[in-house]
Amino acid sequence: MLFDDVVGHSAAKLSLQRAVEQGHINHAYLFTGPSAVGKFIVARAFAAAMLCPDNGCGECNVCRRVTLEKHPDVTVVRPAGKNIPVEKIREIRLDAFRKPSESDIKVYIIKNAERMWEEGASTLLKVLEEPPGNVVFILVTANPGALLPTILSRCQEIRFTRIPPDELKEYLLTTRDIAPERADLVVRLTGGVLGRALDWCDEPWRLTRRDNVIRAARALGRADLNRTLEMASELLRDVRAPVDELVSRYQDKKDGLADGSLDNRTVRLLDKDLDEECRREQVKEEIRGVKEFLSTLSWWYRDILIWGEGGDVSLLVNRDLEDEIASESEFLNERNLLECIDMIGESMRAAEQNIPAQLNIESTMLGVQGVLYA
Ligand SMILES: [Zn+2]
């Protein structure tokens, strides 16, 4: 069953599965909880379960096409850039009144639903107020407070929480080729967020990147200004590497357009779309990289702080670096460490406001150096 492939969220899965089996399906659901925790995967599994003759077997043609987002009766809406265009919601409103193509039901999954601005939201509200009989909406959001209360009140809320560490570890061990200590580390570093944990398993360079950040942090005590800036630019290179890879992936996609199966005008349009999408993704990936750098740094100083307090090894995030943590804690004092962690928090907020990556990394490194080693 498709639901069995989803780790954690047993209460959510049970209630959705039951709704499908008993045929008590609501017109609108609101999936809430932290981002990357698995809401969307469950939404898709739920859509498949509603359409599949076997309540979501995971193997039939219906399940497969829903999972690949290729089923005509399941529409997935994602924001284009910062918002979900109102035109898209208007399209859905019209489409909702057309008969399903193959099934008895049509499903609309709206990702980041909080990014419907006023007009889009009120358009959707009109459908939710008098929904056609065979239509189900699933609104997925990490920030339900940003949705209209009138929309919220028409949806059944399904809450998602972080996955308990043991459950996540077990899942990583059974689905990924990974050693138990490594799985432990990934679970701690990603705080029970499934999407991130999978990234850490599938992209081993993330761990190398963590090691580079910690090595640089440990070298700060001995580094002069030039060396510190040099280290900052090495860390920036780490942050940019996946961004460069993304650009080359988009280039491949663009090259694929010119295989002669499309007319020139369509190729030009798609090419432009891909360029825009690539630019947006680049910005996102770079912010993500900077935030990962900052959180690695922050966890590192937190570990030293805990160790210095005589804390328990099991509380450390970077448990594999126990010796290094112990040796750092001899030189660093609690007040300065706390100040550093605060400062890194500031840098985190700056990253969200799109401060250039280079500036952010440099000023954080210099700031930490000033506090800890001046
Ligand atoms: Zn199926």
For residue 296, what pLDDT band results from cuts at 50, 70 and 90?
very high
The closest of 112, 108, 106, 163 to 140, measured between CA atoms, is: 112
For tokens 């959510």, the residue is 12
Q: Ligand 1 centroid vs 259 CA: distance in angstroms?
A: 34
Whether pLDDT at 23 is above 80: yes
Q: Ligand 1 centroid vs 327 CA: distance in angstroms?
A: 56
Mean pLDDT, rounded, of the chain: 91
Q: Ligand 1 centroid vs 253 CA: distance in angstroms?
A: 31
Whether pLDDT at 344 is above 90: yes
Whether pLDDT at 114 is above 90: yes
pLDDT at 312: 81
For residue 214, what pLDDT band results from cuts at 50, 70 and 90?
very high
pLDDT digits (tens, 9 = 90+) for 85-94: 999 999 999 9
Mean pLDDT of 95-105: 93
What is the pTM for the complete model shown? 0.70
Q: Ligand 1 centroid vs 175 CA: distance in angstroms?
A: 21
Q: Where are the domains of the chain?
A: 2-159, 165-202, 206-373
3-state secondary structure (DSSP) of residue 77: strand
Q: Ligand 1 centroid vs 255 CA: distance in angstroms?
A: 35
Q: Ligand 1 centroid vs 65 CA: distance in angstroms?
A: 9
Q: Ligand 1 centroid vs 56 CA: distance in angstroms?
A: 4
Q: Ligand 1 centroid vs 318 CA: distance in angstroms?
A: 42
Mean pLDDT of 194-208: 87
For residue 227, what pLDDT band results from cuts at 50, 70 and 90?
very high
Q: Ligand 1 centroid vs 137 CA: distance in angstroms?
A: 20
3-state secondary structure (DSSP) of residue 28: strand
Cα angle value 273/275/276 (rounded, 5°)? 65
Mean pLDDT of 77-90: 88
Q: Ligand 1 centroid vs 261 CA: distance in angstroms?
A: 32
Q: Ligand 1 centroid vs 103 CA: distance in angstroms?
A: 13
Q: Ligand 1 centroid vs 340 CA: distance in angstroms?
A: 52
Question: What is the Cα–Cα distance from 354 to 286, expressed in whole angstroms?
Answer: 9
For residue 196, what pLDDT band results from cuts at 50, 70 and 90?
confident
Whether pLDDT at 259 is above 80: no
CATH of 2-159, one of 3.50.50.60, 3.40.50.300, 3.40.50.620, 3.10.50.40: 3.40.50.300
